[in-house]
Amino acid sequence: MEHLQCLIIGSGPAGYTAAIYAGRANLSPVLYEGIQPGGQITTTTEIENFPGYPQGVTGFGLMEDLRKQAERFGAEVRSGIVTSVDFSCEKKKVTVDGKTEIEADAVIIATGASAKYLGLPDETKYAGMGVSACATCDGFFYRKKNVAVVGGGDTACEEALYLSGICNKVYMIVRKSFLRASDIMQKRVFETPNVEILFEHETRSLFGENGVEGAVLQDTKNGKEVRIAIDGFFLAIGHTPNTKVFAGVIDLDEKGYIQTKSGTQQTNVEGVFAAGDVADPVYQQAITAAASGCRAAIELEKYLRMK
């Protein structure tokens, strides 16, 4: 069985940043990329809000830069998916791809979260061409245009309000006859003149030649088809943290996010840390994920030094 000082599970901004810091601390970190090398940010066409890239950068390009920087400091990046874990002993054991067993002195979990989609084929067809799951990330590209936000909770309202300050018009497509958001968020949305809420409507398809040009909706009250002209289609129906393999091993909250001790990246298991979206249901930005990866690596190095 291979033994490591530092094992990092996940390869998004949190994982790669943790690898940079762990590598600089001479911990010879090994990072397993997981099911989506580079994380979900690689599906973002262009990123303009990550410091250090004044002209913007693609999600894939940003992750390539972070990976190369981690490798420069001695991190080993491997392909593979962690399929089971055993954190009951001092040495943390993991199994990769159902066959390769590894033990580590300390582990950083940075497996991220996956945006929930409606399951329409057009969501895949127009990925990066009008379909997005992050208004903060991509809203700027739709300034002075018409967009739609799917969802009726606080997240959807927040996305709609954010986009209302950038876009010409924002449709909210809500399946129910009411918003599930908090009263204050509902009030703000109702008072925003360029936000139109389409209650009891469901999205059936998207259309457009070289990107999204509109959406076909169905009025669930009378079954009538409704077509709206939009340039951007934003999903705001939540995220699913990639924590299935850690269930019953690490403390998770009611939504499945890893719980960390206040002010730290430490989980309930000594020597196991969590960073990035997998432990962050609030911000879910590349820069905050990177920051938590830095924190996790510093805490991990201190943990090993104090053993």
- Complete DSSP assignment for the chain: -EEEEEEEE--SHHHHHHHHHHHHTT---EEE--SSTT-GGGG-S-B-SSTT-TT-B-HHHHHHHHHHHHHHTT-EEE---EEEEE-SSSSEEEEETTTEEEEEEEEEE---EEE-----HHHHHTBTTTEES-HHHHGGGGTTSEEEEE--SHHHHHHHHHHHTTSSEEEEEESSSS--S-HHHHHHHHT-TTEEEEETEEEEEEE-SSS--EEEEEETTT--EEEEE-SEEEE-S-EEES-GGGBTTB-B-TTSPBP--TTS-B-SSTTEEE-GGGG-SS---HHHHHHHHHHHHHHHHHHHHH-
Question: Does the active-site annotation cover 157?
Answer: no
d(CA 251, CA 257): 9
Exactly one of 6, 105, 122, 134 is catalytic; which is it?
134
Question: Does the active-site annotation cover 137?
Answer: yes
d(CA 287, CA 306): 29
Q: Distance between terminal CA atoms of the chain? A: 22
Exactly one of 6, 105, 122, 137 is catalytic; which is it?
137
Question: Does the active-site annotation cover 89?
Answer: no
d(CA 2, CA 6): 12
Exactly one of 138, 231, 277, 280 is catalytic; which is it?
138
d(CA 296, CA 90): 18
Could you list the active site residues? 134, 137-138
